[in-house]
Amino acid sequence: MSPRYQGYLFVLITMCIWGGFTLTARLSANWHISAFDITALRFALAFFILMPILIYKKDTAFLWSPKAFSLAMIGGLGYCLVCYSAFHYVPAAHAAIFLNGFIPLCTALMAWLLYKAPFDKSTWASVLIMLLAIGSMSYLMYQETGIAFGFGDFLFFISALLWGTFSVLIRQWKLSAWHSMASVAIWSAIVYLPIYLLFLPKNLSEPEPMHLLLQSIFHGIFVVIIATLTYVEAIKRLGAFKAGSIVTLAPFMAAILAVPLLNEPLSMAIICGLLGMAIGALQPWRWIGRKDPLQAKLAQKKQS
C-alpha cells in the first residue's frame, strides 16, 4: 500500500476506536459500571501490558520526568474520571457536542492561556459557530424540557478543557507518541489504583463478568494503546489537518448510532447541537483550495 492509503487505513482504525469509546462509555453506565471501576480497569490492564515491555526495553527513564507525571494526571486520570462520570448523566450525543465539539476550541484556548498562542481567523469563526449552536440548542432544550443544560454537560466541558490542556502540553513538550501513551498509562495506574482499592466505592459484583472483561479490553488496550499509535501514524502520512479533521467525525457518527443501538433520544435540540458543533470543529471551509501534503511534497521534488 502507498503511504497515502496506509494513512487512510490508520485513520479508519482510529475512527472506529474513538467512535466506539463514546458508545462503550455510555454502555458502561447502562451496565452499572461506575466511573471509578472503569477507570481502574482501564489503567490496570494497560499497566500490566506496558510495564513489562518498558522493563524489557530498558526504557523507563522518561517516567521520572515531571512532564510524564503531569500528562498522566491531566490527560489520563483527570480526564477519565470526569469524562466517564458524565456518561452517567446524559446521552452519548451530548458527548459529541460538549466534549468532542469543544475539544478544538478548548485546545486553542489553553494554547493561548499557557503559551500566548494567538487565535487565527478559522479559530474565531469556529468560536462564533459553536456559540451560535450552543445558544440555539439551549433555547430548544429549554422549550422541550425546561432545562437548558445538565450536570453531565458541564462535566463534558471540563473534560474538553483537560484534553485541550493535555494536547497543548504534548505539542509543546514534543514527547513521542510511545512515551506520552506509556506515561499516561503507567502513572495513572500507580497513583489511582491504590486510592481506588483502599478508599473509593466499588461496584464490580453487580455488572456481568463478561461486561467487565469487554470494557477492560476495549478501554485498556484499544483506546489507551492502539488508537494513540494509529492516530500518530495517520498524521505522519496524511498530515495533522486531514487526519485530525476526518477522525473528529467519529464521535458524531457514534452519537447517531446511539439512537438505534442504545435507544437514546435524538431531539431537534440535539440535532441542532450536533450539526453546529461538527461544522465548528471540522471547519470545512479550510478544505477549499488546500493541497494534499503528499502531493505538495512530490511537486517540490519535481521542481527541485
What's the total number of domains in the chain?
1
How high is the pLDDT of residue 191?
96
How high is the pLDDT of residue 232?
72
| Torsion 83-89-92-95 (CA) sign | negative
Alpha helices in 248-285 (DSSP H): 249-262, 268-282
192 pLDDT higher than 90: yes
Whole-angstrom CA distances from 185 to 19, 42, 80, 178, 281 are 21, 9, 11, 11, 28
Rounded to an integer, the average pLDDT of 3-30 is 84
How high is the pLDDT of residue 153?
84
- 193 contacts 42 by C-beta, under 8 angstroms: no
Percent of the chain with pLDDT over 90: 23
How high is the pLDDT of residue 176?
80
DSSP-derived letter for residue 237 is: H
What residue numbers bound the domain in which 185 lies?
3-303
State pLDDT tens for residues 264-297: 777 777 777 777 777 776 666 665 555 554 455 5
DSSP-derived letter for residue 90 is: S
Q: How far apart are CA 90 and CA 87, in angstroms?
A: 6
State pLDDT tens for residues 133-152: 777 877 777 776 666 677 88
Grid coordinates belonging to 183: 506515561
State pLDDT tens for residues 193-250: 999 999 998 888 888 889 999 999 998 899 888 987 887 787 677 765 566 666 667 7
Alpha helices in 146-176 (DSSP H): 151-173
**Backbone φ/ψ region at 265: left (φ over 0), alpha (ψ -120 to 50), beta:** beta
Rounded to an integer, the average pLDDT of 63-89 is 91
Percent of the chain with pLDDT over 70: 83
State pLDDT tens for residues 148-181: 677 888 898 899 899 888 888 887 887 787 888 8
Rounded to an integer, the average pLDDT of 117-142 is 76
Identify the weakest region by mean pLDDT among 1-15, 64-78, 126-140.
126-140
65 pLDDT higher than 60: yes
- 219 contacts 37 by C-beta, under 8 angstroms: no
Chain mean position to CA 23? 13
How high is the pLDDT of residue 245?
60
